[in-house]
Structure formats: C-alpha cells, structure tokens
C-alpha cells in the first residue's frame, strides 16, 4: 500500500477469501497490493489470496516494485501460473480453496475479482481502436463461470456458502438506456466513446451479459432457477494513471437514493456517478475497501450483503 493511502485502519467484520484474474496490471494490481500489505487483525490467520498469472516472475516483479516484500509474496500469495483461455484446470485451481480451508459447504473462494482485458490496437477505420483479442473479456468470464459449473456439489442443498461474489471491471459508456441503466457519461463524450471505444465496449457488454445471466438464473445447469454466483459490476470512467486519492472518488449506480448505505462516503451520489475519468489506483482502492478487505458489506456468516451487491457501479 502506498504511503499516501489515507484509508482508516478499520477492523474487518469478515476476512473473505479472494481470487483475482487480471491482476498484473490495470485496477486489480492496486487491489492486490493492498490485500498483501494489510496485516490481518490480531489473532486472525492471513487472508487467502490466489491469482492466476501467465508469468509468476512478472507478477512478483510488479509487486516488489509496488512495495510488497518478497517474504509477503512467498507466504501470503498463492500464484497459479496459466492462461485463462487455454488452461481450464488452472482457472479451477485459482477459485478453489486449498485443502486446509476447504470444507463440505465451501469449496470456492468468497470473492472472484475479474479484471481481464486486451491490448489496444489502432486501425485506420472506425472504431479506430480494437483489441488484440476482441472477445477476451466475455471469453475469460465464461471460463470462470464454467469453472464454477464443474463442481459436482454446486447445486446440492448443503452448499449454502458455495456461491461466490464475482466483481467484474467494466467501463462507463456501455449502458443500455432506460431507467434501469441510464446514461453514465456526459453527452459531449458520446461521440468519442462511439468512435474510439465501440470495439472494446462490445466485449465489455457481452461480458456483463454473461455474468448477469449466470447470477440471475444459470441456464446451463439442471437447476435452472439456481443462480451460479452473486455479482457486482464496476464501470470506471476513462481510466488514467494518477495516484490514488488525487481527486475525491464518487460512486453510484442506477436508481441509487442518497443518504443510505456505504455510498454515503463516496460522494452520496443520486443514480450513476458521471465524470470524465478515474485513476486505476482509485478503482483498485475502492474494490479493496468496499469488497475485498472485509471492512464493509460482509456479515459474520461470510455473506456479502453490501449496498453494491447486484449493482452496476460507476466510479469517477
């Protein structure tokens, strides 16, 4: 955690186990650094944290440059080396609890943080920017959901704690319209988004649809009314590399009513938060504080019951 982090040292109500996909860059690297650099409360075991990474050495180097001690990486982080699209067994391993904390009613981690994205490529025709893999987000999310589906006990009545929360990093500008998903960017920015980001946004929309469908009713299961997971989508405004807390962070979502819930401390926004940009560091800090750290939103039984559950949260 950076020396500029001003987050108060609140004791977590519950320490959720966490799995991360896409933590070698972007927003979730910031979350991972905070997870590792925050000591567990007195008398508690360290938080279980696992990461899927294509290169163990690259991730370890990134973390040490961010101030995470090598000893902490070695003792508090479980790195699973593999590719989310080609190594299905590694995806399963990342979200599955190790034998020492695995129980009959809890096979998977509490939280899956999903920040997979592609590398941009410029073109000479609209949309001018595309991704090296145009379906990386939806395909990666499908891989994680399929890893959950592989559990032979998922739909057993005894697996009451076997439904993880999946938090996915998305983007503003992918709203569907209407009161349930209204515009979340300024009108002058509409053309910029359409010309330069329509390709990547198409993938983000598909990713969100895959996730919310699994959370609403897993149609690929025998028990068609049984949700596979809970979800939370984080739609960041245009991402930048400013340091954390350089500007006040605001959070909102469609139909949010001011004055209640955890959102009071994030600008107390009515509806979605609309802005021009947000730092990756701040998004990672928000994910850590509101979901991954256990400081907010969790009850003592290990259920996420926070304000953001089932919402498409805009951050700016």
- pLDDT per residue, tens digit, the chain (316 aa), is 443 444 445 667 789 999 999 999 889 999 999 999 998 877 777 899 999 999 999 999 999 999 999 999 999 999 999 999 999 999 999 999 887 776 656 789 999 999 998 766 767 666 666 767 789 999 999 999 999 887 654 434 444 346 899 999 999 999 999 999 999 999 988 888 877 777 788 999 999 999 999 988 654 555 444 678 899 999 999 999 999 988 899 999 999 999 988 999 999 999 999 999 999 999 999 999 999 998 889 988 888 999 999 999 999 9
Determine, yes or no, domain membership for 10: no
Determine, yes or no, domain membership for 178: yes
End-to-end alpha-carbon separation of the chain, Å? 21
What does the pLDDT read at residue 161? 44
Q: Which of 17, 35, 9, 117 is nearest to 288 (CA)?
A: 35
Return contacts of 78-82, CB within 8 angstroms, 24+ apart.
Answer: 78/48, 78/49, 78/50, 78/51, 79/50, 79/51, 79/53, 80/50, 80/51, 80/52, 80/53, 81/52, 81/53, 81/54, 81/55, 81/56, 82/52, 82/53, 82/54
Q: How many domains does the chain have?
A: 1
Q: Assign residue 100 the CATH number of its domain.
A: 3.40.50.720
304: burial class by Cβ within 10 Å (0-12, 13-18, 19+)?
buried
Determine, yes or no, domain membership for 9: no
Query: Three-class SS of residue 121?
Result: strand
Domain residues for the domain of 239 are 18-255+266-315
Determine, yes or no, domain membership for 13: no
Determine, yes or no, domain membership for 192: yes
Task: Identify whether 127 is preceded by a cis peptide bond (ω within 30 of 0).
Answer: yes
* pTM (2 d.p.): 0.89
What does the pLDDT read at residue 154? 42
Determine, yes or no, domain membership for 4: no
What does the pLDDT read at residue 105? 62
What does the pLDDT read at residue 159? 41
Q: Phi and psi at residue 304, in whole multiples of 5°?
A: -85, 115
Determine, yes or no, domain membership for 163: yes
Determine, yes or no, domain membership for 240: yes
């Amino acid at each position: 955690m950076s020396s500029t982090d001003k987050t108060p040292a609140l004791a977590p109500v519950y320490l959720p186990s966490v799995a991360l996909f896409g933590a070698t860059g972007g927003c979730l690297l910031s979350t991972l650094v905070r997870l590792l650099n925050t000591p567990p409360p007195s008398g508690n075991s360290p938080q279980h944290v696992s990461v899927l990474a294509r290169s163990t050495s690259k991730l370890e180097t990134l973390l040490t440059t961010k101030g995470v001690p090598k000893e902490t990486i070695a003792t508090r982080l479980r790195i699973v080396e593999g590719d989310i699209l080609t190594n299905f067994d590694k995806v399963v391993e990342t979200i599955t609890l190790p034998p020492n904390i695995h129980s009959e009613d809890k096979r998977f981690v509490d939280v899956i943080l999903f920040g997979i994205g592609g590398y941009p490529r410029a073109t000479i025709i609209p949309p001018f920017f595309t991704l090296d893999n145009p379906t990386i987000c939806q395909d990666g999310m499908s891989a994680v959901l399929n890893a959950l589906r592989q559990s032979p006990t998922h739909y057993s009545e005894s697996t009451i704690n076997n439904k993880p929360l999946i938090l996915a990093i998305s983007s503003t500008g992918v709203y569907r319209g209407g009161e349930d998903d209204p515009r979340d960017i300024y009108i002058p920015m509409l053309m910029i988004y359409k010309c330069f980001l329509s390709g990547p946004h198409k993938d983000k929309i598909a990713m969100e649809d895959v996730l919310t469908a699994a959370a609403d009713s897993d149609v690929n299961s025998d028990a068609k009314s049984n949700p596979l997971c809970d979800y939370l989508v984080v739609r960041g405004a245009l991402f930048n590399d400013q340091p954390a807390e350089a500007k006040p962070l605001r959070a909102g979502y469609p139909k949010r009513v001011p004055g209640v819930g955890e959102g009071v401390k994030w600008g107390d926004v009515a509806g979605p938060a609309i802005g021009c940009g947000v730092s990756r560091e701040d998004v990672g800090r928000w994910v850590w504080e509101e979901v991954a750290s256990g400081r907010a939103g969790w009850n003592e039984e290990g259920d996420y019951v926070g304000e953001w559950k089932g919402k498409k949260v805009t951050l700016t």
